[in-house]
């Protein structure tokens, strides 16, 4: 009984510690990574960041993350004052001008009908993916609650089995003691008759 109890605990421990992505989870992660890659390839770094931020919500953080540091450049103005500026490095495949979101140039860009339409389509795709990620997070929380409930039920069943085991051993011990007491009583009666 003790071995089976330990085996159940070991299985629960291993299943709780292992990282398992179901095919549905894997699809969500794949879609986010591929969308981020496509956004980078098409010089849509605004969407790259958004897709990666959403994907990070459904991926377990690595034990040893890869550190990336900013590149900064020291510039000296005409008065000799030095300032450090962070430099944005684009891949050599990046095309076109660089425009920051919510800048004056960005507002001008969105005045172009085709540019606005492409931007809105990108935002719509990202919002749909964000909703998918939120749904996965909620499903994960619900599954975690079910798992915790199942573990609690199994622990309660094990405690119940221990109680019944102890009850049976106690009853067997009592019956054994009664039989031994009866045998001793019979032996003492026989001994008393023989002595007379």
Split at pLDDT 50, 70, 90, the class of 2 is very low
Predicted confidence at residue 22, as pLDDT, reads 65
What average pLDDT does the structure give for the chain?
80
- The distance of Cα 24 from the centroid of its chain, to the nearest Å, equals 14
- With 0-12 / 13-18 / 19 or more C-beta atoms within 10 angstroms meaning exposed / middle / buried, residue 108 is exposed
pLDDT in tens, 27-82: 888 888 898 888 888 888 889 999 999 989 888 888 998 888 888 788 888 888 88
The length of the chain, given as a count of residues: 196
Query: What are the extents of the domains in the chain?
Result: 2-61+69-195
Q: Are 83 and 93 in contact (CB under 8 A)?
A: no
Which of 142, 130, 156, 153 lies closest to 58, judged by CA? 130
In the block, which residue shows the tokens 């009666």? 189
The whole-number average pLDDT for the span 156-174 is 82
In sequence order, the β-bridge partners of residue 76 are 82
Distance CA 89, CA 70 (A): 9
Question: What is the pTM assigned to this prediction?
Answer: 0.57
Split at pLDDT 50, 70, 90, the class of 98 is confident
Quick check: 122 pLDDT over 60? yes
Quick check: 17 pLDDT over 50? no
Distance CA 69, CA 50 (A): 20
The Cβ-side half-sphere exposure at 187, using a 13 Å CA radius, reads 6
Split at pLDDT 50, 70, 90, the class of 124 is very high
pLDDT in tens, 171-189: 888 888 888 888 888 888 8
DSSP string, 6-70: HHHHHHHHHHHHS----HHHHHHHHHHHHHHHHHHHTT-HHHHHHHHHHHHTTSPPPSSPPP---
Share of residues in the chain with pLDDT > 70 (%): 86
The angle formed by the CA atoms of residues 12, 18 and 19, to the nearest 5 degrees, is 135
Distance CA 121, CA 168 (A): 70
Quick check: 10 pLDDT over 70? no
């Amino acid at each position: 009984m003790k071995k089976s109890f330990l085996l159940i605990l070991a299985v629960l421990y291993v299943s709780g510690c292992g990282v398992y992505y179901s095919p549905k989870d894997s699809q969500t992660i794949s879609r986010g990574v591929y969308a981020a890659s496509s956004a980078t390839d098409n010089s849509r770094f605004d969407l790259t960041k958004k897709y990666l931020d959403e994907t990070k919500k459904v991926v377990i953080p690595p034990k040893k993350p890869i550190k990336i540091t900013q590149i900064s450049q020291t510039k000296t103005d005409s008065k000799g004052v030095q300032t450090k500026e962070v430099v944005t490095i684009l891949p050599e495949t990046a095309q076109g001008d660089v425009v920051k979101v919510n800048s004056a140039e960005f507002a001008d860009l969105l005045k172009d009908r085709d540019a606005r339409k492409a931007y809105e389509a990108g935002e719509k795709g990202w919002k749909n993916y964000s909703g998918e990620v939120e749904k996965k997070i909620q499903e994960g929380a619900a599954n975690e609650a079910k798992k915790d409930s199942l573990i609690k039920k199994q622990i309660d069943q094990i405690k119940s089995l221990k109680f019944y085991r102890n009850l049976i051993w106690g009853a067997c011990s009592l019956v054994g003691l009664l039989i031994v007491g009866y045998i001793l009583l019979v032996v003492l009666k026989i001994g008393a008759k023989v002595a007379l």
